[in-house]
Amino acid sequence: MTDASPRPPVLVAAAVLVEEGRVLLTQRKRGTHLAGAWEFPGGKVEPGEDPRAALVRELVEEIGVEVSVGDPVEVTFHKYPEKSVLLLFFWVTRLPGSPDPRPLDVADVKWAGAGDLAPELFPPADVAILSKVRALLSPD
Ligand code: CDP
């Protein structure tokens, strides 16, 4: 039987935060979709919420950092068997005085160099921006 009313994609905002040649990644928690994957930090945009405001909120909730959200990097769409996601990636910078990232609601956080960006570690929806990000990073 065909699905007459497929669900609309989940709208997600994600951050590309580069400092000193490294990009900030978070690891998905056990028991969540794609558990264990490393990703660009972010999360769902609530209905009616400004995607940039959603990203500011998610980064405080998940890793305790305060950021300013800049231009879009890329928009990607990915269909998983159970859902589809529309991902809005933004360049972000930490606000002066922001705390360092810590794993409040993620399994782990790390500052990654170019050598850490193996596509198989990431959700498929994140892979499209890896080459753009890699170009900005230290080689290791
Ligand atoms: O934290 P919240 O529940 O708001 O959202 P999430 O579970 O982190 O993200 C919603 C969906 O977007 C999940 O299915 C993730 O797999 C996907 N996602 C992604 O593909 N890449 C990211 N960088 C962030 C989320």
Q: 86 CB less than 6 Å from ligand 1?
A: no
Query: For ligand 1, what atom is nearest to the CA of residue 124?
Result: 20
pTM greater than 0.90: yes
Tell me the best of 26, 28, 40, 44 to mutate to test the pocket of ligand 1, counting ligand atoms within 8 Å of each CB and taking the most: 44
- Spatial contact of 14 and 88, defined as CB atoms under 8 Å apart: yes
pLDDT at residue 4 tops 90 = no
- Spatial contact of 68 and 93, defined as CB atoms under 8 Å apart: yes
- The rounded Å distance from CA 21 to ligand 1 centre is 25
- Kindly calculate the radius of gyration of the chain based on its CA atoms and give it in whole angstroms: 15
Q: 125 CB less than 6 Å from ligand 1?
A: yes
DSSP letter string, the chain: ---SSPPPPEEEEEEE-EETTEEEEEEPPTTSTTTT-EE-SEEEPPTT--HHHHHHHHHHHHH---EEEEEEEEEEEEE-SS-EEEEEEEEEEEPTTPPPP--SSSSEEEEE-GGG--GGGS-HHHHTTHHHHHTTS---
Q: How confident is the model at residue 5 (pLDDT cuts 50, 70, 90)?
A: low
| Complex confidence, ipTM | 0.95
pLDDT at residue 1 tops 60 = no
Each residue of 66-91: pLDDT tens digit? 999 999 999 999 999 999 999 999 99
pLDDT at residue 6 tops 90 = no
Q: 92 CB less than 6 Å from ligand 1?
A: no
1 or 63, higher pLDDT: 63
Q: How confident is the model at residue 3 (pLDDT cuts 50, 70, 90)?
A: low
3 or 36, higher pLDDT: 36
Q: Calculate the CA dihedral of residues 78, 80, 84, 88 and round it to 10 degrees.
A: -40
Each residue of 14-48: pLDDT tens digit? 999 999 999 999 999 999 999 999 999 999 999 99
Q: 102 CB less than 6 Å from ligand 1?
A: no
